[in-house]
Structure 1
């Protein structure tokens, strides 16, 4: 069988292939969580060369380059784009069995029409062919969104960020809806007074208010929540090592906030209390507006002090964490439910150890008001690959309703990542089709087709109101 054969790649039974090609392949994409740049979408960005598009900001690739012994100069340093591409071309043959080998060649095929394997001997030809394609009129952000039938993109935005790029996109003729996502994680950094106060100053400027008390902070965050809603936002997001679980009243929150504002040290217990205080506030705001809250839980971030200090966050120095997630998550979701303020929630875990913990927990907080109100989200980060996706689908299917799952997202900073939806859809169709062909699911193509169509796009459209 040919590598990445379009007809049968990841599709190991007749029904799998039929489900993919007749149902999943051309379904629209709702990429409801990603880190694409609103500015690049608003300006319909174009790229100078393949390295600019493919390697800039992609810490997945950076990690493999480092693992292959490539010097940092050729990764994030001052080497030329062509030199960086050559380093990647020399690394790709060593990525066999890593999902990036699949993604790399899917991207070459789907974006550039190149079916040659990338390696040191083919680098020149691929570089020239891809760069010629980049120069064509339709190879731009808007052209890519149209090509891949992307109906919705959810970017990730800080409350202190202006929404001017989103306003420009909304006023344009772009067929894709591009909506902000409210991610207020910088509000939790009371243990880092310098960074916290710099962020507060930005929030003051964007809201045209003075923030001297914790009540002022809540007022400013409420204003931005309203602004985001007016701009079309319907999702929030939090990236946490684990949910905070120490109760905190207004008086304690005020004391902690005042300490941080004066540049005084805030200890770990105080930080957790302040985070819990804000997370309850954010949950109530989301529920009041009918938003969906996303909780990305579990990574250990920036674990390499030297390299993180040198290159900053999101540079590839994060890993799977082993925090105990269950008790704190139960406490937080329970606190919102007790207040009648539990919004739609999507739970993402990064440690496969916790798959069944998260999947089963969703069932404990469903309330019958919305199908699949509490979701076990798709395989995330280190689990965003074939085995991780299969583990997530199995845990969800075994404890809840796969038929109500809102499906895949890219969680990516790259406009080359949309084939990840194809990757997921092939895996989904193989799971469903192979079980049907083994007699483990009914021989009912209409029922199987509905399940696949819903998970690929239908459920997300209905769940988020798109």
Structure 2
């Protein structure tokens, strides 16, 4: 028997190495719907049920994972984010893919080609690029592979976008009224208002004034404007917030009079000390946390990203373009202080905390375990493997930490954190890895050899838990 006879590359049992894992996946995980509770998908594309012309439109525009890989392969930037046409940019990706062996992009690429595009038994390479380009364009021209059809093909029931407080949410309203496709909900991402030290803060206050109809001169005005936007988001079905805290800080909040002065100083163009900025950020975040708890919303905290390291790349291409890295700051104490302050007032919302540096897994999981209660399973969650961690090793490490420091039964599972409609294959990737981990433990006698019992756990983590966590009050 030859090697090729024995191993089916990414076949039906991809990543499933024993019978228990195969049964868990095929009988329990594969059939579960998807609730993607954190994405960066375009509401315009979903509500408009966009028809994509080609894979570059659908696959490469906005995907900084692929952009980083192409730069590493020596592809000229003009063929990545520059002025070259869609076909040439696709060719650049086809040239890169054979060099991605061992990188999750190699698996994700071929999972996405197989489903929903139906391109099997052909590896993407410079030699096959024209064949795949032509076949994929033919498939994308069909009615069933418009934007909503792509989501339906992945059995997506709910998708949560990421939206600035000043967003009017017109696309969410239009989509809800249509009654078509999966449910699309907004997520309240108020990062800009937390960062008083940023150069664009004053301009952002003007945008918030225009969106809310509240003139902002004092701190209480700012809270009133945010309250109006929270009401607006709630009217569109919002039940989640999200914050990117590159380095969480906790400074005892200043008095309201002092906060008023900070806003006034920034309006006059004055710089603030780190202590003053930290006090303002803490005051706004605590107020928002209490509001989320009052409304029954979930708060998400993404921690530890080191963003836009290449100033040249930022200037030429913009943020979120593949120039980010894992930060190495320590933040256990300030994060604990934020959660504890809210908890002492019985105003701690359901909270999911994500770390970018895997060295923080155990710290963050143990910290989350310190703020449980109120009859809510997994009230504070150690979140799914995020960004640089959402490959096999990172997923396995996150799941292992979840098992050892908390209760896997309460875990709310995977998300895409993506700008591509095809990225829902990552839910399948996660489910296969998850089932393989459990199946291996069953095979070693570490878990009961009971696929029905363990299958119930699989179904909970894949879908049931997140539905309960988000929507049951």
- Give the TM bin, normalised by the shorter chain: over 0.9
Q: TM-score, normalised by structure 2?
A: 0.97
Equivalents in 2 of 1:367, 1:458: separation in Å? 20
SS in 2 for 1:295: strand
1:114 is aligned, of 107, 112, 119, to: 119
| Alignment-derived partner of residue 390 in structure 2 | 384
Cα displacement (A) at 1:209:
2.0
1:30 is aligned, of 15, 20, 35, to: 35
| Alignment-derived partner of residue 78 in structure 1 | 83
| Alignment-derived partner of residue 67 in structure 1 | 72
Equivalents in 2 of 1:253, 1:96: separation in Å? 53
| Alignment-derived partner of residue 154 in structure 2 | 148
Cα displacement (A) at 1:328:
1.1
Contact 1:297 1:349 in 2 (8 A): yes
Give the RMSD, CA atoms, in angstroms: 1.0
Q: How does 1:94-133 map to 2 (within 5 A)?
A: 94-115=99-120, 116-133=122-139
Equivalents in 1 of 2:415, 2:456: separation in Å? 20
| Alignment-derived partner of residue 177 in structure 1 | 183
- Uncovered stretches (5+) of structure 1, i.e. residues with no partner: none
Cα displacement (A) at 1:175:
3.9
Contact 2:217 2:260 in 1 (8 A): no
| Alignment-derived partner of residue 4 in structure 2 | none
| Alignment-derived partner of residue 48 in structure 1 | 53
2:354 is aligned, of 334, 345, 348, to: 348
2:273 is aligned, of 267, 270, 273, to: 267
Equivalents in 2 of 1:79, 1:268: separation in Å? 43
SS in 1 for 2:373: coil
Contact 2:194 2:285 in 1 (8 A): no
Contact 1:242 1:329 in 2 (8 A): no
Which portions of structure 1, spanning 4 or more consecutive aligned residues, are displaced by more than 4 angstroms? none
- Uncovered stretches (5+) of structure 2, i.e. residues with no partner: 1-6
Equivalents in 2 of 1:51, 1:437: separation in Å? 43
| Alignment-derived partner of residue 238 in structure 2 | 233
Cα displacement (A) at 1:368:
4.0
Equivalents in 2 of 1:251, 1:386: separation in Å? 50
Number of corresponding residues? 464
1:257 is aligned, of 253, 260, 263, to: 263
| Residue 211 (structure 1) aligned with residue 216 (structure 2) | yes
1:247 is aligned, of 236, 246, 252, to: 252
String of CA shifts for 1:264-295, please: whole Å, max 9, x gaps: 11232221111101010110000000111000
Equivalents in 2 of 1:191, 1:242: separation in Å? 14
| Residue 394 (structure 1) aligned with residue 400 (structure 2) | yes
| Alignment-derived partner of residue 283 in structure 2 | 277
